[in-house]
Structure 1
Amino acid sequence: MPKIKYQFNTKSLTIERVQVTLRDKLKRLMWVASSGTVFAAVLLVFAYNFLDSPKEKIQKREIEQYKFQYKIMNNRIGKLQKVLNEMQDRDDNIYRVIFEAEPIPSETRKEVLGGVDRYSAFEGFNNAEIILNTAKKLNSITTQMVVQSKSYDQVYSLAKSKEKMLASIPAIQPLTRQSLKSIGSHFGYRIDPFYKVTKFHSGLDMCAATGTRVYATGDGVVSQAGWEGGYGNLIVINHGYSYASAYGHLSRIGVKRGQIIKRGQVIGYVGSTGKSTAPHLHYEVRKSGTAINPINYFFNDITPAEYLNLIRLSDLPSQTMD
Protein backbone atom coordinates (compact mmCIF):
# COMPACT_ATOMS: atom_id res chain seq x y z
CA MET A 1 0.00 0.00 0.00
CA PRO A 2 1.49 3.39 -0.97
CA LYS A 3 2.67 5.48 1.91
CA ILE A 4 0.68 8.69 2.43
CA LYS A 5 2.51 11.96 3.07
CA TYR A 6 1.28 15.50 3.49
CA GLN A 7 2.76 18.64 2.01
CA PHE A 8 1.86 22.34 2.00
CA ASN A 9 0.70 23.82 -1.32
CA THR A 10 2.10 27.33 -1.53
CA LYS A 11 -0.26 28.35 -4.31
CA SER A 12 -3.55 27.30 -2.74
CA LEU A 13 -2.26 27.72 0.79
CA THR A 14 -3.72 24.35 1.77
CA ILE A 15 -2.32 21.05 3.06
CA GLU A 16 -2.68 18.28 0.53
CA ARG A 17 -2.27 14.51 0.72
CA VAL A 18 0.54 13.06 -1.41
CA GLN A 19 1.01 9.39 -2.09
CA VAL A 20 4.66 8.16 -2.16
CA THR A 21 4.92 5.55 -4.86
CA LEU A 22 7.42 2.72 -5.16
CA ARG A 23 9.06 4.62 -7.97
CA ASP A 24 9.60 7.64 -5.74
CA LYS A 25 11.13 5.42 -3.09
CA LEU A 26 13.49 3.85 -5.62
CA LYS A 27 14.55 7.29 -6.88
CA ARG A 28 15.34 8.43 -3.33
CA LEU A 29 17.18 5.22 -2.56
CA MET A 30 19.28 5.58 -5.71
CA TRP A 31 20.09 9.22 -4.83
CA VAL A 32 21.20 8.24 -1.33
CA ALA A 33 23.25 5.33 -2.66
CA SER A 34 24.94 7.43 -5.34
CA SER A 35 25.69 10.22 -2.85
CA GLY A 36 27.21 7.69 -0.47
CA THR A 37 29.30 6.20 -3.25
CA VAL A 38 30.62 9.62 -4.28
CA PHE A 39 31.40 10.50 -0.65
CA ALA A 40 33.20 7.20 -0.14
CA ALA A 41 35.20 7.75 -3.34
CA VAL A 42 36.21 11.23 -2.16
CA LEU A 43 37.34 9.79 1.18
CA LEU A 44 39.38 7.10 -0.57
CA VAL A 45 41.10 9.65 -2.84
CA PHE A 46 41.88 11.87 0.17
CA ALA A 47 43.23 8.95 2.20
CA TYR A 48 45.36 7.71 -0.71
CA ASN A 49 46.90 11.11 -1.43
CA PHE A 50 47.15 12.71 1.99
CA LEU A 51 47.20 9.97 4.62
CA ASP A 52 50.19 7.63 5.04
CA SER A 53 49.92 3.96 5.67
CA PRO A 54 51.77 2.57 8.74
CA LYS A 55 54.49 1.28 6.42
CA GLU A 56 54.85 4.68 4.74
CA LYS A 57 55.05 6.40 8.12
CA ILE A 58 57.90 4.10 9.15
CA GLN A 59 59.67 4.74 5.85
CA LYS A 60 59.32 8.52 6.26
CA ARG A 61 60.76 8.35 9.78
CA GLU A 62 63.68 6.30 8.48
CA ILE A 63 64.29 8.82 5.68
CA GLU A 64 64.33 11.69 8.20
CA GLN A 65 66.80 9.76 10.35
CA TYR A 66 69.00 9.11 7.31
CA LYS A 67 68.93 12.82 6.43
CA PHE A 68 69.93 13.73 9.99
CA GLN A 69 72.78 11.18 9.99
CA TYR A 70 73.87 12.40 6.56
CA LYS A 71 74.06 15.96 7.86
CA ILE A 72 76.18 14.87 10.85
CA MET A 73 78.46 12.78 8.61
CA ASN A 74 78.99 15.69 6.20
CA ASN A 75 79.81 17.95 9.12
CA ARG A 76 82.46 15.47 10.29
CA ILE A 77 83.81 15.16 6.75
CA GLY A 78 84.13 18.96 6.63
CA LYS A 79 86.08 19.05 9.90
CA LEU A 80 88.33 16.22 8.75
CA GLN A 81 89.00 18.03 5.48
CA LYS A 82 89.96 21.17 7.40
CA VAL A 83 92.48 19.26 9.53
CA LEU A 84 93.89 17.58 6.40
CA ASN A 85 94.28 20.97 4.72
CA GLU A 86 96.31 22.23 7.68
CA MET A 87 98.46 19.08 7.67
CA GLN A 88 99.14 19.53 3.96
CA ASP A 89 100.03 23.18 4.49
CA ARG A 90 102.50 22.30 7.25
CA ASP A 91 103.91 19.49 5.13
CA ASP A 92 104.55 21.64 2.05
CA ASN A 93 105.49 24.94 3.72
CA ILE A 94 107.32 23.80 6.85
CA TYR A 95 108.53 20.19 6.88
CA ARG A 96 109.55 20.08 3.21
CA VAL A 97 111.08 23.55 3.40
CA ILE A 98 113.13 22.50 6.42
CA PHE A 99 114.42 19.39 4.68
CA GLU A 100 114.79 21.13 1.31
CA ALA A 101 112.30 18.82 -0.43
CA GLU A 102 109.94 19.80 -3.25
CA PRO A 103 106.30 20.37 -2.22
CA ILE A 104 103.75 17.83 -3.44
CA PRO A 105 101.91 19.07 -6.59
CA SER A 106 98.26 19.92 -5.95
CA GLU A 107 97.28 17.67 -8.90
CA THR A 108 98.75 14.67 -7.07
CA ARG A 109 96.73 15.43 -3.95
CA LYS A 110 93.52 15.71 -6.01
CA GLU A 111 93.86 12.54 -8.10
CA VAL A 112 90.77 10.32 -7.96
CA LEU A 113 91.33 6.77 -6.75
CA GLY A 114 89.68 4.18 -9.00
CA GLY A 115 88.80 6.53 -11.88
CA VAL A 116 85.45 8.09 -12.80
CA ASP A 117 83.73 4.68 -13.25
CA ARG A 118 84.09 4.26 -9.50
CA TYR A 119 80.72 6.00 -9.01
CA SER A 120 78.69 4.18 -11.71
CA ALA A 121 77.35 1.75 -9.10
CA PHE A 122 75.38 4.58 -7.46
CA GLU A 123 73.44 5.49 -10.61
CA GLY A 124 69.72 4.72 -10.46
CA PHE A 125 69.55 4.74 -6.66
CA ASN A 126 66.99 6.82 -4.79
CA ASN A 127 68.69 10.04 -3.65
CA ALA A 128 71.59 9.09 -5.93
CA GLU A 129 72.88 12.68 -5.99
CA ILE A 130 73.26 12.79 -2.18
CA ILE A 131 74.97 9.38 -2.10
CA LEU A 132 77.26 10.33 -4.99
CA ASN A 133 78.26 13.63 -3.38
CA THR A 134 79.18 11.93 -0.10
CA ALA A 135 81.08 9.16 -1.91
CA LYS A 136 83.15 11.74 -3.81
CA LYS A 137 84.01 13.59 -0.59
CA LEU A 138 85.09 10.38 1.13
CA ASN A 139 87.14 9.33 -1.90
CA SER A 140 88.84 12.73 -1.98
CA ILE A 141 89.77 12.50 1.70
CA THR A 142 90.99 8.91 1.26
CA THR A 143 93.20 10.04 -1.65
CA GLN A 144 94.63 12.92 0.38
CA MET A 145 95.32 10.64 3.35
CA VAL A 146 97.18 8.15 1.14
CA VAL A 147 99.27 10.95 -0.41
CA GLN A 148 99.90 12.52 3.01
CA SER A 149 100.97 9.19 4.50
CA LYS A 150 103.49 8.66 1.69
CA SER A 151 104.72 12.23 2.14
CA TYR A 152 105.32 11.70 5.86
CA ASP A 153 107.25 8.52 5.05
CA GLN A 154 109.49 10.60 2.79
CA VAL A 155 109.86 13.37 5.38
CA TYR A 156 110.72 10.76 8.01
CA SER A 157 113.47 9.37 5.76
CA LEU A 158 114.83 12.89 5.26
CA ALA A 159 114.69 13.50 9.01
CA LYS A 160 116.64 10.33 9.76
CA SER A 161 119.35 11.45 7.37
CA LYS A 162 119.47 14.90 8.99
CA GLU A 163 119.18 14.06 12.68
CA LYS A 164 121.53 16.83 13.81
CA MET A 165 119.61 19.43 11.84
CA LEU A 166 116.29 18.12 13.21
CA ALA A 167 117.57 18.30 16.79
CA SER A 168 118.68 21.90 16.28
CA ILE A 169 115.53 23.38 14.73
CA PRO A 170 113.09 24.79 17.35
CA ALA A 171 110.38 22.13 17.59
CA ILE A 172 108.87 22.16 21.10
CA GLN A 173 107.10 24.67 23.33
CA PRO A 174 109.39 26.59 25.71
CA LEU A 175 106.94 26.04 28.60
CA THR A 176 105.38 22.76 29.72
CA ARG A 177 101.66 22.29 29.18
CA GLN A 178 101.15 22.15 32.94
CA SER A 179 102.79 25.53 33.53
CA LEU A 180 101.33 27.33 30.49
CA LYS A 181 98.17 29.17 31.60
CA SER A 182 97.23 30.65 28.22
CA ILE A 183 98.51 32.42 25.11
CA GLY A 184 98.24 36.12 25.97
CA SER A 185 98.89 37.30 22.43
CA HIS A 186 99.75 35.69 19.10
CA PHE A 187 102.15 36.46 16.24
CA GLY A 188 101.20 39.26 13.85
CA TYR A 189 99.73 42.74 14.03
CA ARG A 190 98.36 43.48 17.49
CA ILE A 191 97.48 46.46 19.69
CA ASP A 192 100.41 47.77 21.76
CA PRO A 193 99.32 47.86 25.45
CA PHE A 194 101.32 51.02 26.16
CA TYR A 195 100.81 53.15 23.04
CA LYS A 196 97.37 51.74 22.02
CA VAL A 197 98.36 51.56 18.34
CA THR A 198 98.57 48.56 16.02
CA LYS A 199 102.13 47.23 15.81
CA PHE A 200 103.75 44.06 14.53
CA HIS A 201 104.16 41.49 17.32
CA SER A 202 107.12 39.26 16.48
CA GLY A 203 106.35 36.32 18.76
CA LEU A 204 104.01 34.63 21.23
CA ASP A 205 103.19 35.94 24.70
CA MET A 206 102.89 32.79 26.83
CA CYS A 207 101.32 33.43 30.25
CA ALA A 208 102.81 31.64 33.27
CA ALA A 209 103.68 32.36 36.89
CA THR A 210 106.88 34.21 37.76
CA GLY A 211 109.70 31.71 38.26
CA THR A 212 108.27 29.09 35.87
CA ARG A 213 111.03 27.17 34.10
CA VAL A 214 111.79 28.07 30.47
CA TYR A 215 113.22 25.36 28.18
CA ALA A 216 115.40 25.59 25.07
CA THR A 217 113.37 24.53 22.03
CA GLY A 218 116.32 23.16 20.07
CA ASP A 219 120.05 22.40 20.27
CA GLY A 220 122.34 25.38 19.77
CA VAL A 221 124.71 27.96 21.23
CA VAL A 222 123.69 30.95 23.40
CA SER A 223 124.46 34.06 21.35
CA GLN A 224 122.94 36.56 23.79
CA ALA A 225 122.15 36.43 27.52
CA GLY A 226 121.43 39.71 29.28
CA TRP A 227 119.35 42.87 29.34
CA GLU A 228 117.92 44.06 26.00
CA GLY A 229 115.68 47.16 26.24
CA GLY A 230 111.96 46.33 25.97
CA TYR A 231 112.71 42.60 26.05
CA GLY A 232 114.09 42.92 29.58
CA ASN A 233 116.21 39.88 30.43
CA LEU A 234 116.66 38.16 27.07
CA ILE A 235 118.21 34.89 25.88
CA VAL A 236 118.89 34.26 22.19
CA ILE A 237 119.99 30.80 21.00
CA ASN A 238 121.64 30.28 17.61
CA HIS A 239 120.51 26.86 16.39
CA GLY A 240 122.45 26.89 13.13
CA TYR A 241 120.84 26.16 9.75
CA SER A 242 119.77 29.87 9.76
CA TYR A 243 117.47 29.37 12.79
CA ALA A 244 117.45 31.23 16.13
CA SER A 245 115.04 31.46 19.07
CA ALA A 246 114.53 34.28 21.60
CA TYR A 247 113.13 34.26 25.16
CA GLY A 248 112.20 37.63 26.67
CA HIS A 249 111.04 39.26 29.95
CA LEU A 250 112.80 36.59 32.06
CA SER A 251 112.98 37.06 35.83
CA ARG A 252 116.31 35.23 35.86
CA ILE A 253 118.78 33.98 33.24
CA GLY A 254 120.29 30.53 33.78
CA VAL A 255 122.86 30.34 30.94
CA LYS A 256 125.86 32.28 29.67
CA ARG A 257 126.81 33.58 26.25
CA GLY A 258 128.71 30.93 24.24
CA GLN A 259 127.23 28.05 26.25
CA ILE A 260 126.23 24.93 24.27
CA ILE A 261 122.56 24.10 24.82
CA LYS A 262 120.49 20.95 24.29
CA ARG A 263 116.77 20.89 23.49
CA GLY A 264 114.70 20.64 26.69
CA GLN A 265 117.43 22.17 28.88
CA VAL A 266 116.30 24.80 31.44
CA ILE A 267 117.74 28.16 30.36
CA GLY A 268 115.82 30.70 32.46
CA TYR A 269 112.66 31.59 34.37
CA VAL A 270 109.46 33.46 33.49
CA GLY A 271 109.22 37.06 34.64
CA SER A 272 107.93 40.51 33.74
CA THR A 273 111.11 42.50 33.11
CA GLY A 274 111.40 45.20 30.45
CA LYS A 275 108.31 46.48 28.62
CA SER A 276 105.76 44.07 30.10
CA THR A 277 102.28 44.29 31.65
CA ALA A 278 102.28 40.94 33.52
CA PRO A 279 104.42 37.82 34.04
CA HIS A 280 104.82 35.98 30.72
CA LEU A 281 107.38 34.63 28.27
CA HIS A 282 107.80 36.44 24.96
CA TYR A 283 108.96 33.68 22.60
CA GLU A 284 110.27 34.16 19.06
CA VAL A 285 111.53 31.93 16.26
CA ARG A 286 113.75 33.59 13.66
CA LYS A 287 114.70 32.31 10.21
CA SER A 288 117.61 34.11 8.50
CA GLY A 289 117.11 36.97 10.96
CA THR A 290 113.38 37.40 10.27
CA ALA A 291 110.75 36.58 12.90
CA ILE A 292 108.32 33.82 11.84
CA ASN A 293 105.23 32.37 13.52
CA PRO A 294 106.40 30.12 16.41
CA ILE A 295 103.18 28.08 16.27
CA ASN A 296 104.45 26.44 13.10
CA TYR A 297 107.42 25.10 15.08
CA PHE A 298 105.54 23.28 17.85
CA PHE A 299 105.24 20.14 15.70
CA ASN A 300 106.87 17.88 18.32
CA ASP A 301 104.32 18.93 20.95
CA ILE A 302 100.84 19.41 19.49
CA THR A 303 98.33 17.45 17.41
CA PRO A 304 96.93 18.73 14.08
CA ALA A 305 93.64 19.57 15.84
CA GLU A 306 95.46 21.60 18.53
CA TYR A 307 97.49 23.33 15.83
CA LEU A 308 94.29 24.22 13.96
CA ASN A 309 92.83 25.71 17.13
CA LEU A 310 95.95 27.83 17.73
CA ILE A 311 95.79 29.10 14.15
CA ARG A 312 92.13 30.03 14.67
CA LEU A 313 92.94 31.91 17.87
CA SER A 314 95.87 33.69 16.22
CA ASP A 315 93.47 35.23 13.69
CA LEU A 316 91.47 36.95 16.44
CA PRO A 317 92.32 40.58 17.29
CA SER A 318 94.06 41.04 20.65
CA GLN A 319 96.39 43.25 22.67
CA THR A 320 99.98 42.23 23.34
CA MET A 321 101.50 41.99 26.81
CA ASP A 322 104.74 43.79 25.86
Structure 2
Amino acid sequence: MSKVKYYYDSESLSYKKIERKKGRAFKYTFIFLLASAFFGFLMVFVTSQYVESPKERALKRELQNMELQYELLNKKMQQAETVLNNIADRDNNIYRVFFEANPIPDEQRKAGFGGINRYKDLEGFDNSKLIIESNKRLDVLQKQIVVQSRSLDEIAKLAEEKEKLLAAIPAIQPVSNEDLTRMASGYGMRSDPFTKVRKMHWGMDFTAPRGTPIYASGDGVVKRADSNSSGYGNHIRIDHGYGYISLYAHLYKYNVRKNQKVKRGDLIGFVGSTGRSEAPHLHYEVFKDGQRINPINFYYGSLTAEEFNKLLEHASLENQSLD
Protein backbone atom coordinates (compact mmCIF):
# COMPACT_ATOMS: atom_id res chain seq x y z
CA MET A 1 0.00 0.00 0.00
CA SER A 2 1.45 3.31 -1.15
CA LYS A 3 1.98 6.07 1.43
CA VAL A 4 -0.29 9.14 1.42
CA LYS A 5 1.63 12.42 1.23
CA TYR A 6 0.47 15.88 2.50
CA TYR A 7 1.61 19.44 2.04
CA TYR A 8 1.07 22.55 4.29
CA ASP A 9 -1.24 25.23 2.84
CA SER A 10 -0.20 28.61 4.28
CA GLU A 11 -3.41 30.29 3.28
CA SER A 12 -5.70 27.92 5.08
CA LEU A 13 -3.12 27.15 7.71
CA SER A 14 -3.81 23.44 7.32
CA TYR A 15 -2.31 20.23 5.79
CA LYS A 16 -3.80 19.07 2.56
CA LYS A 17 -3.48 15.75 0.80
CA ILE A 18 -1.24 15.65 -2.33
CA GLU A 19 -3.19 14.32 -5.22
CA ARG A 20 -1.11 12.36 -7.76
CA LYS A 21 -1.68 13.05 -11.44
CA LYS A 22 -1.80 9.94 -13.59
CA GLY A 23 -0.16 11.60 -16.62
CA ARG A 24 2.80 12.83 -14.61
CA ALA A 25 3.38 9.38 -13.09
CA PHE A 26 3.38 7.88 -16.55
CA LYS A 27 5.82 10.57 -17.73
CA TYR A 28 8.21 9.91 -14.90
CA THR A 29 7.95 6.17 -15.49
CA PHE A 30 8.67 6.57 -19.19
CA ILE A 31 11.67 8.83 -18.51
CA PHE A 32 12.98 6.33 -15.99
CA LEU A 33 12.64 3.42 -18.38
CA LEU A 34 14.20 5.39 -21.23
CA ALA A 35 17.13 6.41 -19.07
CA SER A 36 17.54 2.82 -17.90
CA ALA A 37 17.51 1.54 -21.48
CA PHE A 38 20.03 4.19 -22.54
CA PHE A 39 22.41 3.41 -19.70
CA GLY A 40 21.93 -0.32 -20.31
CA PHE A 41 22.78 0.06 -24.00
CA LEU A 42 25.75 2.24 -23.08
CA MET A 43 27.02 -0.38 -20.66
CA VAL A 44 26.62 -3.15 -23.27
CA PHE A 45 28.43 -1.04 -25.86
CA VAL A 46 31.29 -0.20 -23.53
CA THR A 47 31.52 -3.79 -22.39
CA SER A 48 31.56 -5.13 -25.94
CA GLN A 49 34.26 -2.66 -26.98
CA TYR A 50 36.59 -2.79 -24.01
CA VAL A 51 35.75 -5.91 -22.03
CA GLU A 52 36.30 -9.38 -23.60
CA SER A 53 33.92 -12.20 -22.96
CA PRO A 54 35.31 -15.66 -22.09
CA LYS A 55 34.38 -16.90 -25.56
CA GLU A 56 36.15 -13.95 -27.22
CA ARG A 57 39.24 -14.53 -25.08
CA ALA A 58 39.25 -18.21 -26.10
CA LEU A 59 38.87 -17.33 -29.80
CA LYS A 60 41.61 -14.71 -29.53
CA ARG A 61 43.99 -17.21 -27.94
CA GLU A 62 43.14 -19.74 -30.67
CA LEU A 63 43.82 -17.14 -33.37
CA GLN A 64 47.15 -16.19 -31.79
CA ASN A 65 48.10 -19.87 -31.62
CA MET A 66 47.18 -20.34 -35.30
CA GLU A 67 49.31 -17.33 -36.27
CA LEU A 68 52.23 -18.77 -34.30
CA GLN A 69 51.80 -22.17 -35.93
CA TYR A 70 51.68 -20.56 -39.37
CA GLU A 71 54.89 -18.65 -38.63
CA LEU A 72 56.59 -21.90 -37.56
CA LEU A 73 55.24 -23.68 -40.66
CA ASN A 74 56.54 -20.84 -42.83
CA LYS A 75 60.03 -21.18 -41.29
CA LYS A 76 59.98 -24.94 -41.81
CA MET A 77 58.99 -24.48 -45.45
CA GLN A 78 61.82 -21.97 -45.91
CA GLN A 79 64.28 -24.44 -44.40
CA ALA A 80 62.97 -27.26 -46.61
CA GLU A 81 63.20 -25.03 -49.70
CA THR A 82 66.78 -24.06 -48.81
CA VAL A 83 67.85 -27.69 -48.32
CA LEU A 84 66.08 -28.80 -51.51
CA ASN A 85 67.67 -25.96 -53.52
CA ASN A 86 71.08 -27.01 -52.21
CA ILE A 87 70.46 -30.63 -53.23
CA ALA A 88 69.21 -29.50 -56.65
CA ASP A 89 72.34 -27.37 -57.12
CA ARG A 90 74.64 -30.30 -56.26
CA ASP A 91 72.52 -32.59 -58.42
CA ASN A 92 72.89 -30.34 -61.48
CA ASN A 93 76.48 -29.20 -61.00
CA ILE A 94 78.17 -32.26 -59.49
CA TYR A 95 76.29 -35.53 -59.84
CA ARG A 96 74.79 -35.02 -63.29
CA VAL A 97 78.01 -33.44 -64.61
CA PHE A 98 80.07 -36.38 -63.34
CA PHE A 99 77.77 -38.92 -64.97
CA GLU A 100 77.42 -36.82 -68.15
CA ALA A 101 73.67 -36.32 -67.72
CA ASN A 102 71.78 -33.18 -68.73
CA PRO A 103 70.89 -30.86 -65.81
CA ILE A 104 67.22 -30.39 -64.89
CA PRO A 105 66.04 -26.81 -65.67
CA ASP A 106 64.70 -24.67 -62.80
CA GLU A 107 61.48 -24.21 -64.79
CA GLN A 108 60.86 -27.94 -64.52
CA ARG A 109 61.89 -28.19 -60.86
CA LYS A 110 59.82 -25.22 -59.62
CA ALA A 111 56.87 -25.23 -62.01
CA GLY A 112 53.41 -24.69 -60.54
CA PHE A 113 50.20 -26.38 -61.54
CA GLY A 114 48.28 -25.11 -64.56
CA GLY A 115 44.77 -25.85 -65.71
CA ILE A 116 41.92 -25.93 -63.19
CA ASN A 117 41.86 -23.84 -60.01
CA ARG A 118 43.10 -26.32 -57.39
CA TYR A 119 42.33 -23.92 -54.54
CA LYS A 120 38.75 -22.90 -55.29
CA ASP A 121 37.45 -24.61 -52.12
CA LEU A 122 39.73 -22.39 -50.02
CA GLU A 123 38.31 -19.11 -51.33
CA GLY A 124 35.76 -16.94 -49.50
CA PHE A 125 37.29 -17.08 -46.00
CA ASP A 126 38.85 -14.26 -43.95
CA ASN A 127 42.34 -15.74 -44.39
CA SER A 128 41.84 -17.30 -47.83
CA LYS A 129 44.84 -15.55 -49.38
CA LEU A 130 47.15 -16.76 -46.61
CA ILE A 131 45.80 -20.32 -46.79
CA ILE A 132 45.99 -20.48 -50.59
CA GLU A 133 49.58 -19.16 -50.71
CA SER A 134 50.65 -21.70 -48.09
CA ASN A 135 49.04 -24.53 -50.05
CA LYS A 136 50.69 -23.36 -53.26
CA ARG A 137 54.13 -23.38 -51.60
CA LEU A 138 53.53 -26.84 -50.18
CA ASP A 139 52.38 -28.17 -53.56
CA VAL A 140 55.44 -26.73 -55.35
CA LEU A 141 57.69 -28.09 -52.59
CA GLN A 142 56.09 -31.52 -52.93
CA LYS A 143 56.58 -31.44 -56.70
CA GLN A 144 60.24 -30.43 -56.27
CA ILE A 145 60.75 -33.39 -53.95
CA VAL A 146 59.20 -35.75 -56.53
CA VAL A 147 61.40 -34.32 -59.33
CA GLN A 148 64.52 -34.55 -57.15
CA SER A 149 63.67 -38.09 -56.05
CA ARG A 150 63.36 -39.23 -59.66
CA SER A 151 66.59 -37.45 -60.51
CA LEU A 152 68.44 -39.25 -57.71
CA ASP A 153 66.98 -42.56 -58.91
CA GLU A 154 68.42 -41.76 -62.35
CA ILE A 155 71.78 -40.80 -60.80
CA ALA A 156 71.85 -44.07 -58.85
CA LYS A 157 71.23 -46.00 -62.08
CA LEU A 158 73.93 -44.00 -63.87
CA ALA A 159 76.32 -44.66 -60.98
CA GLU A 160 75.60 -48.37 -61.20
CA GLU A 161 76.27 -48.28 -64.95
CA LYS A 162 79.43 -46.24 -64.35
CA GLU A 163 80.61 -48.81 -61.81
CA LYS A 164 79.97 -51.60 -64.31
CA LEU A 165 81.80 -49.64 -67.01
CA LEU A 166 84.82 -49.01 -64.79
CA ALA A 167 84.92 -52.71 -63.87
CA ALA A 168 84.57 -53.74 -67.53
CA ILE A 169 87.29 -51.53 -69.05
CA PRO A 170 90.49 -53.61 -69.56
CA ALA A 171 92.45 -51.62 -67.00
CA ILE A 172 95.22 -53.90 -65.69
CA GLN A 173 98.33 -55.45 -67.17
CA PRO A 174 97.52 -59.07 -68.17
CA VAL A 175 100.84 -60.43 -66.88
CA SER A 176 102.27 -59.55 -63.45
CA ASN A 177 105.42 -57.42 -63.46
CA GLU A 178 107.37 -59.95 -61.39
CA ASP A 179 106.65 -62.61 -64.03
CA LEU A 180 107.96 -60.56 -66.95
CA THR A 181 111.34 -61.20 -68.56
CA ARG A 182 110.98 -57.88 -70.41
CA MET A 183 108.53 -55.78 -72.42
CA ALA A 184 109.50 -56.93 -75.90
CA SER A 185 107.47 -54.75 -78.19
CA GLY A 186 104.77 -52.10 -78.07
CA TYR A 187 101.95 -50.81 -80.25
CA GLY A 188 103.06 -49.21 -83.52
CA MET A 189 105.32 -49.80 -86.53
CA ARG A 190 107.71 -52.68 -85.79
CA SER A 191 110.02 -55.04 -87.66
CA ASP A 192 108.42 -58.41 -88.45
CA PRO A 193 110.53 -61.25 -86.91
CA PHE A 194 110.04 -63.49 -89.95
CA THR A 195 110.06 -61.13 -92.96
CA LYS A 196 112.08 -58.29 -91.34
CA VAL A 197 109.67 -55.88 -93.02
CA ARG A 198 108.30 -52.95 -91.03
CA LYS A 199 104.59 -53.28 -90.47
CA MET A 200 101.95 -52.28 -87.94
CA HIS A 201 102.10 -54.16 -84.66
CA TRP A 202 98.56 -53.92 -83.24
CA GLY A 203 99.24 -54.95 -79.66
CA MET A 204 101.87 -55.32 -76.94
CA ASP A 205 104.23 -58.26 -76.45
CA PHE A 206 105.04 -59.32 -72.89
CA THR A 207 107.91 -61.83 -72.72
CA ALA A 208 107.58 -64.38 -69.93
CA PRO A 209 108.47 -68.05 -69.35
CA ARG A 210 106.15 -70.69 -70.75
CA GLY A 211 103.32 -71.38 -68.27
CA THR A 212 103.30 -67.85 -66.75
CA PRO A 213 99.74 -66.97 -65.58
CA ILE A 214 97.66 -64.60 -67.70
CA TYR A 215 94.88 -62.57 -66.09
CA ALA A 216 91.67 -61.02 -67.45
CA SER A 217 92.18 -57.27 -67.68
CA GLY A 218 88.49 -56.48 -67.02
CA ASP A 219 85.07 -58.00 -66.30
CA GLY A 220 83.43 -59.67 -69.28
CA VAL A 221 82.41 -62.82 -71.13
CA VAL A 222 84.78 -65.16 -72.97
CA LYS A 223 83.72 -65.07 -76.63
CA ARG A 224 86.52 -67.23 -78.02
CA ALA A 225 89.05 -69.67 -76.59
CA ASP A 226 90.48 -71.47 -79.64
CA SER A 227 93.24 -71.51 -82.26
CA ASN A 228 91.04 -70.74 -85.28
CA SER A 229 92.51 -67.33 -86.05
CA SER A 230 95.57 -67.13 -88.31
CA GLY A 231 98.78 -66.19 -86.55
CA TYR A 232 97.39 -65.94 -83.01
CA GLY A 233 97.66 -69.65 -82.16
CA ASN A 234 95.81 -70.52 -78.96
CA HIS A 235 94.09 -67.29 -78.02
CA ILE A 236 91.25 -65.88 -75.91
CA ARG A 237 88.89 -62.99 -76.65
CA ILE A 238 86.90 -61.38 -73.85
CA ASP A 239 83.93 -59.13 -74.58
CA HIS A 240 83.80 -56.52 -71.81
CA GLY A 241 80.72 -54.70 -73.08
CA TYR A 242 80.54 -50.98 -73.84
CA GLY A 243 82.41 -51.70 -77.11
CA TYR A 244 85.57 -53.12 -75.45
CA ILE A 245 87.20 -56.45 -76.39
CA SER A 246 90.58 -57.74 -75.21
CA LEU A 247 92.64 -60.42 -77.00
CA TYR A 248 95.32 -62.72 -75.49
CA ALA A 249 97.39 -64.67 -78.07
CA HIS A 250 100.05 -67.48 -78.34
CA LEU A 251 98.83 -69.23 -75.17
CA TYR A 252 100.25 -72.50 -73.93
CA LYS A 253 96.81 -73.55 -72.57
CA TYR A 254 93.47 -72.14 -71.43
CA ASN A 255 91.92 -71.83 -68.00
CA VAL A 256 88.51 -70.69 -69.26
CA ARG A 257 85.92 -71.81 -71.82
CA LYS A 258 83.68 -70.02 -74.30
CA ASN A 259 80.73 -68.04 -72.80
CA GLN A 260 82.28 -68.14 -69.33
CA LYS A 261 81.93 -64.95 -67.26
CA VAL A 262 85.17 -63.62 -65.81
CA LYS A 263 86.17 -60.86 -63.43
CA ARG A 264 89.14 -58.54 -63.66
CA GLY A 265 92.18 -60.41 -62.31
CA ASP A 266 90.80 -63.93 -62.94
CA LEU A 267 93.33 -66.49 -64.23
CA ILE A 268 92.34 -67.21 -67.85
CA GLY A 269 95.38 -68.98 -69.37
CA PHE A 270 99.14 -69.42 -69.51
CA VAL A 271 101.91 -67.94 -71.64
CA GLY A 272 103.08 -70.03 -74.58
CA SER A 273 104.48 -69.72 -78.10
CA THR A 274 101.74 -71.12 -80.33
CA GLY A 275 100.80 -69.74 -83.74
CA ARG A 276 103.05 -67.21 -85.47
CA SER A 277 105.41 -66.66 -82.54
CA GLU A 278 109.20 -66.57 -82.28
CA ALA A 279 109.47 -67.13 -78.49
CA PRO A 280 107.25 -67.56 -75.42
CA HIS A 281 105.33 -64.34 -74.86
CA LEU A 282 101.82 -62.89 -74.57
CA HIS A 283 100.56 -60.81 -77.46
CA TYR A 284 97.84 -58.52 -76.03
CA GLU A 285 95.39 -56.34 -77.96
CA VAL A 286 92.47 -54.07 -77.05
CA PHE A 287 89.55 -53.22 -79.35
CA LYS A 288 87.09 -50.35 -78.93
CA ASP A 289 84.02 -50.37 -81.18
CA GLY A 290 85.80 -52.74 -83.56
CA GLN A 291 88.98 -50.64 -83.84
CA ARG A 292 92.34 -51.66 -82.36
CA ILE A 293 93.67 -49.12 -79.84
CA ASN A 294 96.91 -48.85 -77.88
CA PRO A 295 96.61 -51.07 -74.76
CA ILE A 296 99.13 -48.94 -72.84
CA ASN A 297 96.42 -46.35 -72.20
CA PHE A 298 94.53 -48.81 -69.97
CA TYR A 299 97.03 -49.85 -67.28
CA TYR A 300 95.93 -47.39 -64.60
CA GLY A 301 94.48 -50.20 -62.48
CA SER A 302 97.67 -52.14 -61.73
CA LEU A 303 100.82 -50.03 -62.22
CA THR A 304 102.42 -47.27 -60.20
CA ALA A 305 103.42 -44.07 -61.96
CA GLU A 306 107.05 -45.21 -61.99
CA GLU A 307 106.18 -48.63 -63.41
CA PHE A 308 103.94 -47.07 -66.05
CA ASN A 309 106.64 -44.62 -67.17
CA LYS A 310 109.13 -47.48 -67.48
CA LEU A 311 106.64 -49.55 -69.47
CA LEU A 312 105.89 -46.58 -71.72
CA GLU A 313 109.58 -46.09 -72.38
CA HIS A 314 110.08 -49.73 -73.45
CA ALA A 315 106.88 -49.82 -75.49
CA SER A 316 107.98 -46.76 -77.46
CA LEU A 317 111.16 -48.40 -78.75
CA GLU A 318 110.85 -49.37 -82.42
CA ASN A 319 112.37 -52.82 -82.02
CA GLN A 320 111.43 -56.18 -83.48
CA SER A 321 108.17 -57.76 -82.43
CA LEU A 322 107.89 -61.43 -81.44
CA ASP A 323 104.94 -62.23 -83.74
TM-score, with structure 2 as normaliser: 0.50
Bigger Rg, which one: 2
